[in-house]
Structure 1
C-alpha cells in the first residue's frame, strides 16, 4: 500500500512541481553551473543506486557525508534550498523508479562503514531508503550512526499508513533541520 502512495505522490509531485523544479534548475545553472547532484548511495538490500538532488554545495566539494563537509562549501542558493528542503525534490524521481520511498531511512554513502554496519545488524536494508522519516523530523543525522540506525529500526518496526503521512506532513511543515555541516 505504501508503494502505491509513493508512486502516486511522486508522480503528482514531479508533474505539479515541474515549474518549481525548472526554476530551481535554471537558477542553479547560474549558481554552480551544475544544478543537479548525483551520488551513489546504499539502497535496499545494500544495492547501489544513484540519488538525485539539487546541488547545494560547490561543484568541487568532496563526496562525503554532510556532517563532514565544510559549511563554506554551501552556496547561497544551496543554503536556501537546504532550509526549505527543496533540494530534496529531485528525489521524487528516485521514489517514482522504486529506488526510494517518501518515508524510510535516509540512504547513506558506501564509505560510511559504521552506519552501514549498524543498519545491517538491525535489518534496515530490507526497506527502501526514504526522503524523510522519524530520524529526520527529530534532527538525528548521520553524525550519530548508532542512534540513527536505532531510530530507523524503531520507525520501520512501527511504520503504519498513519505514521507514513505524519512524517511527510511534519517534514513539509518544516520539522527537522536536515543534515548538519561542519562550522568553520
Structure 2
C-alpha cells in the first residue's frame, strides 16, 4: 500500500510542480542563455533504484567551460549572478520533477549519487537504501548538513529505509519547505 500511495503522490506532486514551474524554468533558461551560451539543461548519469543508472536533469548553473569539479572547489570559479542565484535558491533542481514524473526519482528518498561515488553506493546497498527510488529531498538532507561525511549520509539514508512511511515522507516534505522558504544565506 505504501509504494502505491507514494507513487500516486509522486505523480500528482510532479505534475502540479511542473505546471507551476514551467514559466519559471523558461525565464531562468533565457537568463542562463544570456550569460553563458550552451545548453540550458544539464544532464548527468546518476545511480537510481537498485543501482540502475538514469539521466538526471538540472538547470545548468555552471559555465560550460567549468568541467567536472567538486562542489567544494567552486569558490575558485567566477560565476555569473544567475548561477549563484540558481545554486542558492535550489531552482536549478526544478527539472528533476520530470525525473519524478517518469519514475526515475521520487519526491522523497536518498539523493541520487554519481556512479563514481562507490563508497556511498556500497553503504546504501548494505543498509537497504539502494532499493529505494532516489529523491528530490530526503531524510539525510533534512537531518544533517552540506558536506557531511559519506558514512553519515549513508547512515541517514538507512534510517529512512528502515522507517519509511507516508508520515515520514510528510515530515521530510514539511522540513524541506521550511528550509526552502527561509531567507537565503548572505555571502
TM range, smaller chain: 0.7 to 0.9
Aligned residue among 39, 42, 57 for 1:37: 42
1:129 is aligned to 134
1:27 is aligned to 31
Once the two structures are superposed, residues 14-49 of structure 1 have per-residue CA deviations (whole angstroms, 9 ceiling, x without a partner) of 012211111111111112222211000001110110
Once the two structures are superposed, residues 150-179 of structure 1 have per-residue CA deviations (whole angstroms, 9 ceiling, x without a partner) of 1001012112212212212222222699xx
TM-score by length of 1: 0.86
TM-score by length of 2: 0.85
2:176 is aligned to 171
Per mean C-alpha deviation after superposition, the further-off stretch among 78-87 and 38-47 is: 78-87
Aligned residues: 176
Aligned residue among 58, 62, 65 for 1:57: 62
Give the drift of 1:97. 0.3
Aligned residue among 51, 74, 77 for 1:46: 51
Give the drift of 1:82. 1.9
Aligned-partner Cα distance in 1 for 2:71–2:123: 19
Per mean C-alpha deviation after superposition, the further-off stretch among 150-159 and 88-97 is: 150-159
Per mean C-alpha deviation after superposition, the further-off stretch among 52-61 and 38-47 is: 52-61
Aligned residue among 110, 113, 126 for 1:108: 113
Task: Give every structure 1 segment of 4 or more consecutive aligned residues whose post-TM-superposition deviation is greater than 6 Å.
Answer: none
1:160 is aligned to 165
Secondary structure of the residue that 1:17 maps to in structure 2?
A: helix
Conserved? CA contact 1:136–1:176, under 8 Å: no
2:154 is aligned to 149
Once the two structures are superposed, residues 120-164 of structure 1 have per-residue CA deviations (whole angstroms, 9 ceiling, x without a partner) of 211211100001011112344465111111100101211221221
Aligned-partner Cα distance in 2 for 1:65–1:50: 19
Per mean C-alpha deviation after superposition, the further-off stretch among 167-176 and 91-100 is: 167-176
In structure 1, runs of 5+ residues without a counterpart are 178-184
Larger Rg: 2
Conserved? CA contact 1:51–1:94, under 8 Å: yes
